[in-house]
Amino acid sequence: MSKFQKVRGMHDVPLDQSSIWSEVIKKLASTLKSYSYSEIRLPIIEQTELFKRSVGDETDIVNKEMFTFDSKSKKSMTLRPEGTAGCMRASIEQGLLDQGNQRLFYHGPMYRYERPQKGRNREFYQFSAEAYGNDTISIELELIQIAERIISFFKVPDVSLEINSLGSKEAQDKFSLELVKFLTPLKDKLDEDSQKRLITNPLRILDSKNTETQKILISAPRISDFYSSESAERYKNLKNSLDELGINYQENHNLVRGLDYYNDIVFEWKSEIIGSQSALCAGGRYDSLSKKLGGRDMPAIGFSFGIDRLILACQDAFNFSKSKKLTIIILEESLLNFGANFSERLRDALPDLEIRFSGLDINLKSQLKKAIKNNSDFAIIIGREEVESNSFSFKNLSKDNNQERLNEEEIISKLKQLI
């Protein structure tokens, strides 16, 4: 019988890495909680129209990369390619925007039909923060500080923060017109994608990796020429604060992001160590999204960490304290119930210890071998005589031949000291 393989671009986490994933997500959640963000849980499937209206009809994500299908009632559905739109949809639907400022976080898999390569999958995991109701740069600063804290906690190598301001939506429209005017006579020299974007999404031409296009862009108009005084002031104030706080950044005038909802400040953290897919966290301000989705006027800003890339960038340099392991072995089948109960009592008393009960496999030698292979730190051996005398063999497997006889209470207090 032929075996199954995972679908191209989907992501199995190898067993020896799954604890890294849980610890990374645990750390991000506790960091966000410490800044007073609350977890919002969101569905993976949304109406296709939600992404068309928010991420944008003319973006690559919506045009080429969505996993879209018809429901049984012939409604167009999509596996979320990102979470910002769904988070805003849910916040409007649940009335959260009527309850004042919100600081939210969520995490989970996202789906984009991209060409898989190192750091790029069709299923990938994001951890995101979104803050609603604050239109001052204090919230830009807060999000940048959170991301910096996370990056420095994980000691991500070779990271740089790039920032840009896209100005208001009106500024983007004016700039796009000027850019098209400037590039149209040079159309034939542009790469194929940029030629198409000249009609569909001119701003994204700035993102082109093609060297010829990049050369042409050097003398193109700059979006900064179109900032309103308010946008220019906001950008200047943010840079001043970053300087004062000693947060390193580079300005990248071509940082335009692949989603249409942004205005003003956008940011990306890159680590060259990942290769060409170097962005490991990205986001920005998106003040018009709420209204576009039928909500009230509501300033908003957020970021998403790509967890696959964060873990890739750190390679194996994670140093989480692992929980200790105990194996409980019985020497007679008739002691099954006693062993099962004994294990339960120890789990009640020592919730941080991983306890594996060997069950009906009563071969002591093979059980000890398995315990060592399973990286067990301790073993408790229970025979008939031990049960009758309430005195069990306790082995510290990390110390050779260290075996002693202890009763149940002594075992519990000994383990409390050791773990």
The greatest distance separating any two alpha carbons of the chain, rounded to the nearest whole angstrom, comes to 94
Residue type, 193: D
Q: Which of 149, 190, 175, 412 is nearest to 303 (CA)?
A: 149
Q: Which of 218, 209, 226 is nearest to 186 (CA)?
A: 218
Residue 130 within binding range of ligand HAM, rule CB under 6 A: yes
- Specify the residue, 156 or 331, whose C-beta has the smaller distance to ligand HAM: 156
53, 103, 112, 234: which one contacts ligand HAM (CB under 6 A)? Answer: 112
Please identify the residue of the shown chain whose CB is closest to the bound ligand HAM: 306
Residue 260 within binding range of ligand HAM, rule CB under 6 A: no
DSSP 111-142: E-----BTTB-SEEEEEEEEEES--SHHHHHH
**In angstroms, what is the minimal distance from the CB of 173 to ligand HAM?**
21
60, 308, 377, 386: which one contacts ligand HAM (CB under 6 A)? Answer: 308
**In angstroms, what is the minimal distance from the CB of 90 to ligand HAM?**
14
Residue 140 within binding range of ligand HAM, rule CB under 6 A: no
- Specify the residue, 126 or 231, whose C-beta has the smaller distance to ligand HAM: 126
Signed CA dihedral, 276, 280, 284, 290: sign only: positive
**Please, which residues bridge with residue 162 across strands?**
250, 268
- Specify the residue, 183 or 300, whose C-beta has the smaller distance to ligand HAM: 300
Residues 239-258 that bind ligand HAM (CB under 6 A): 258
**Residue 215 exposed, middle or buried by CB count within 10 Å (0-12, 13-18, 19+):** exposed
* Paired tokens of 400: 């050779």
Site string for ligand HAM, 53-92 (x = CB under 6 A): -----------------------------xxx--------
Residue for token pair 């207090």: 413
Q: Can you count the helices (H) and strands (E) in the chain?
A: 15, 16
Residue 114 within binding range of ligand HAM, rule CB under 6 A: yes
Q: Cα–chain-centroid distance for residue 339? A: 41
**In angstroms, what is the minimal distance from the CB of 260 to ligand HAM?**
11
Q: Where does this chain touch ligand HAM (CB under 6 A) — which range of 121-129, 156-164, 236-244, 291-299?
A: 121-129
* Paired tokens of 284: 């920005």
- Specify the residue, 53 or 112, whose C-beta has the smaller distance to ligand HAM: 112
Q: C-alpha dihedral over 352, 31, 81, 96, to 10 degrees?
A: 110
- Specify the residue, 10 or 180, whose C-beta has the smaller distance to ligand HAM: 10
> By the 8 A CB rule, do 381 and 395 touch?
yes
Q: Where does this chain touch ligand HAM (CB under 6 A) — which range of 117-125, 145-153, 217-225, 370-378?
A: 117-125
402-411 long-range CB contacts below 8 Å, 24 or more apart? 408/342, 408/345, 411/346, 411/380
Residue 309 within binding range of ligand HAM, rule CB under 6 A: yes
37, 51, 124, 235: which one contacts ligand HAM (CB under 6 A)? Answer: 124
CA distance 49 to 52: 5
Q: What are phi and psi of 132, to 5 degrees?
A: -115, 140
227, 306, 329, 331: which one contacts ligand HAM (CB under 6 A)? Answer: 306
**In angstroms, what is the minimal distance from the CB of 85 to ligand HAM?**
8
* Paired tokens of 375: 């990286």
> By the 8 A CB rule, do 131 and 139 touch?
yes
Residues 271-300 that bind ligand HAM (CB under 6 A): 279-284
CA distance 417 to 406: 14
- Specify the residue, 52 or 324, whose C-beta has the smaller distance to ligand HAM: 52
Residue type, 233: E
Q: Where does this chain touch ligand HAM (CB under 6 A) — which range of 69-77, 122-130, 230-238, 409-417?
A: 122-130
- Specify the residue, 136 or 403, whose C-beta has the smaller distance to ligand HAM: 136
**In angstroms, what is the minimal distance from the CB of 240 to ligand HAM?**
23
- Specify the residue, 202 or 283, whose C-beta has the smaller distance to ligand HAM: 283
List interacting residues with ligand HAM (CB under 6 A).
82-84, 112, 114, 119-121, 124, 126, 128, 130, 258-259, 279-284, 302-304, 306, 308-309
